[in-house]
Chains A and B, each alone.
Chain A
Amino acid sequence: MPVRSRFSGVPVNAAVVFLTLVWIVPTLGLLVSSFRPFSDIATTGWWTALSPPFHFTLQNYKDVLDTSNLGTSFLNSLTIAIPATVIPITIAAFAAYAFAWMQFPGRNLLFLSLIGLLVVPLQVTLIPVLQIFTSVHIPVLAPDGLNGNFLGIWLAHTGYGLPFAVYLLRNFFGSLPNDLFESAALDGASPLTMFFRLALPLSVPVLASLAIFQFLFVWNDLLIALIYLGGSADVAPLTVTVANLVNSLGQGYQLLTAAAFISMILPLIVFFALQRYFVRGLLAGSVKG
Chain B
Amino acid sequence: MRNRRSGQALALLAFSALLVTACGGSSSSGKIGGTVKVLASWGGSEQASFLAMVKPFEDKTGVKVQYEGTRDLNAVLTTRVQAGNPPDLAGLPGPGQMISFAKAGKLTALDTVIDQGTMKAQYGDSWLKLVQVNGKQYGIFIKAALKGLIWYDPKFFQAKGYAVPKTYDALNTLANKIKSSGTTPWCIGLESSATSGWPGTDWIEDFVLRQSGPAKYEDWFNGKLKWSSPEIKKAFQSWGSVVNDPKMVYGGANTVLSTNFGDAATPLFLSPPKCYLHHQASFITDFFVKANPALKPVDDFNFFPFPDINTQFTGAQEVAGDLFGMFKDTPQARQLMQYLTTPEAQTIWVQRGGSISPNKQVSTDKYPDAISKQTATILTSAKITEFDAGDLMPDAMSTAYNKAMLDYVTDPGKLDSILATLDAAQAAAYK
Interface residues of A (CB under 8 A from B): 38-39, 42-43, 123, 126-128, 130-131, 133-135, 145, 147, 223, 226-227, 230-234, 236, 240, 243-252, 255
Chain B: CB-nearest residue to A148: B85
What are some 21 contacts across the A-B interface (CB < 8 A)? A38-B290, A123-B75, A126-B83, A127-B83, A128-B83, A130-B79, A131-B84, A226-B76, A227-B79, A227-B80, A230-B68, A231-B68, A232-B68, A233-B66, A240-B70, A248-B46, A250-B192, A250-B262, A251-B45, A252-B43, A252-B44
Whether B45 lies near A250 (C-beta < 8 A) is no
B29-41 near A? 1/0 per residue, CB < 8 Å: 0000000010101
Whether B79 lies near A249 (C-beta < 8 A) is no
Chain A: CB-nearest residue to B67: A232
A40 CB, min distance to chain B CBs, angstroms? 10
Residues of chain B within 8 A of A230, CB atoms compared:
37, 68
Chain A: CB-nearest residue to B284: A249
Chain A: CB-nearest residue to B65: A232
Residues of chain A within 8 A of B299, CB atoms compared:
none
A130-B83, A251-B290 are known contacts. Are A43 and B266 too (CB-CB below 8 A)?
yes
A38-B291, A249-B283 are known contacts. Are A244 and B69 too (CB-CB below 8 A)?
yes
Residues of chain A within 8 A of B85, CB atoms compared:
130, 133-134, 145, 147
Partner of B43, one of A233, A236, A245: A245
Partner of A126, one of B66, B69, B79, B192: B79
Is B169's CB within 8 Å of the partner chain A?
no
When chains A and B are docked, how far (Å) is the Cα of A257 from the Cα of B66? 27
| Residues of chain B from 46 to 87 with CB closer than 8 A to chain A in the complex | 46-47, 66-72, 75-76, 79-80, 82-85
Residues of chain A within 8 A of B266, CB atoms compared:
42-43
Residues of chain B within 8 A of A251, CB atoms compared:
44-45, 262, 286-287, 290
Q: Is the interface of B mostly helix, strand, loop or mixed?
A: mixed
Chain B: CB-nearest residue to A128: B83
Of all A-B residue pairs in the complex, the 9 with the closest CB atoms, nearest first, are A231-B68, A130-B83, A247-B44, A232-B66, A252-B44, A244-B43, A42-B291, A248-B41, A247-B46
Most chain A beta carbons < 10 A, residue from B72, B84, B193: B84
When chains A and B are docked, how far (Å) is the Cα of A39 from the Cα of B287? 10
Residues of chain B within 8 A of A233, CB atoms compared:
66-67
Is B292's CB within 8 Å of the partner chain A?
yes
Is B351's CB within 8 Å of the partner chain A?
no
Whether B45 lies near A252 (C-beta < 8 A) is yes
A127 CB, min distance to chain B CBs, angstroms? 5
Whether B71 lies near A246 (C-beta < 8 A) is yes
When chains A and B are docked, how far (Å) is the Cα of A39 from the Cα of B262? 12
When chains A and B are docked, how far (Å) is the Cα of A48 from the Cα of B45? 29
Is B260's CB within 8 Å of the partner chain A?
yes
A208 CB, min distance to chain B CBs, angstroms? 33
When chains A and B are docked, how far (Å) is the Cα of A133 from the Cα of B80? 11
Residues of chain A within 8 A of B45, CB atoms compared:
247, 251-252
Residues of chain B within 8 A of A42, CB atoms compared:
263, 266, 290-291
Is B293's CB within 8 Å of the partner chain A?
yes
B388 CB, min distance to chain A CBs, angstroms? 14
A126-B79, A248-B42, A251-B290 are known contacts. Are A243 and B192 too (CB-CB below 8 A)?
no
A39-B291, A230-B68 are known contacts. Are A134 and B76 too (CB-CB below 8 A)?
no
B113 CB, min distance to chain A CBs, angstroms? 23
